[in-house]
Amino acid sequence: MLKEKLLNFEPPVDGNPLVEMARGYQESLLLHQAFKTGVFDALADGPKNAETVAREIGGVPERVVLLLDALAALELIEKRGDTYINSEVAQTFLSSRSKFYQGDLLDLQLSPERRRQWERIADWLKGEEIRYWNHRETFNPSFVRAMAQAALGHKGFKETILAIANHSCFQSAERLLDLGGGHGLYAIALKQLKPELEVIVFDLPQVEQVTQEYSRHYNAEVVFMAGDFHENELPAEQDIVLAFDIFYPSQTEKVLRKVYRSLKPGGYLFTKHWFLDNTRTSPKRAALFALQLRLANPTSYVYSLQEMEEMLVKIGYQIEGSTPVGDSASTLLTARKGEETDA
């Protein structure tokens, strides 16, 4: 009886998902602001009390303790008595001393510029352009490091490497081209698995320093070839071409034809992207990414898996298969160069 009297106070559906979205935004801002203060580096070498942390980051102790308690609530740090220490996640990804540091990625995702893009969606819907996109400026060293940090922090990296390494074509391959490879981590990992493999990372000139940093770090020698795959031809006679997360601008078919020409007969293309399904609403991350890209670049486009497969077949590739990687937001598509055609 009492419950029936309260029915008018109950909405027909649960509104908590909306509340959680809003809270998630607040938590993201807290994470970024805390990161910018240097608090995770301050706690990287052991437990400290709020007064010590405040002194190291230049804050007021009475305020810093509120920040530390909030970060402990988010499980980014641990509170032990009156001292604080990084959680394992923070120590691994938020300390600049860690080889898995994600500072560049965090700055990219939560930068004021990125937030302003989302905050101006209403203006964009009315026809305004909210950012001028230039691929030579966008793909700077910090962006490339952010992409490397995203790769290393995601289980999809290992799954992708193993999928290629376990493919029959890898055993006989002599040459591999990592197109738009940026950091070169995929090529570097495959080079470690097969040291005799001749590996080229093809990307814009300003990317080379980051590629070489990772090459030295992992002690795997790769050749960096400077160029713009939208404008330049690609090195020929390749057994394998990797094309990961590069086919979002409008010149995709043109570049895929260049890749076809660069492959030996029977050579393989492995391409990994956030492909949409035919409804263009799933996976969720790909649908959000399609909007995010278009906010910054009016020529961007996120393909459905079917659209990409049809484009490859049109050029002359034979589709071998596709498999979700990581959290299934990305898909690795495998295609083989067929008989010689004029691509």
- Residue-range domains of the chain with CATH: 8-99 (1.10.10.10), 135-337 (3.40.50.150)
Q: Is the peptide bond before 283 cis (omega within 30 degrees of 0)?
A: yes
Q: Is it the case that residue 50 has pLDDT exceeding 80?
A: yes
Write the pLDDT tens digit of every residue in 60-112: 999 999 999 999 999 999 999 999 999 999 999 999 999 999 999 999 999 99
Position 4 scores a pLDDT of 78
Split at pLDDT 50, 70, 90, the class of 192 is very high
**AA identity, residue 324:** P
Q: What are the residues facing 268 on neighbouring strands?
A: 240, 336
Q: Give the DSSP per-residue string, 32-65.
A: HHHHHHTHHHHTTTS-EEHHHHHHHHT--HHHHH
Split at pLDDT 50, 70, 90, the class of 1 is low
What's the mean per-residue pLDDT of the chain?
94
- What share of the chain has pLDDT > 70, as a percent? 96
Give residues with Cβ within 8 angstroms of 191, minimum separation 6.
176, 197, 199, 220, 221, 222
For residues 70 and 110, give the distance between their C-alpha atoms in angstroms, rounded to a whole number. 19
Q: Is it the case that residue 142 has pLDDT exceeding 90?
A: yes
Residue 273 Cα to chain centre, angstroms: 10
Residue 332 backbone dihedrals phi, psi, to 5 degrees: -95, 120
Q: Is it the case that residue 158 has pLDDT exceeding 80?
A: yes
Split at pLDDT 50, 70, 90, the class of 56 is very high
Position 40 scores a pLDDT of 99
- Per-residue tokens: 296: 């910054």
Position 48 scores a pLDDT of 99
Q: Which of 86, 89, 112 is nearest to 29 (CA)?
A: 112
Position 340 scores a pLDDT of 64
The least confident of 117-126, 211-220, 246-255 is 246-255
Position 45 scores a pLDDT of 95
Q: Is it the case that residue 253 has pLDDT exceeding 60?
A: yes
- What integer is the mean pLDDT of 284-293? 94
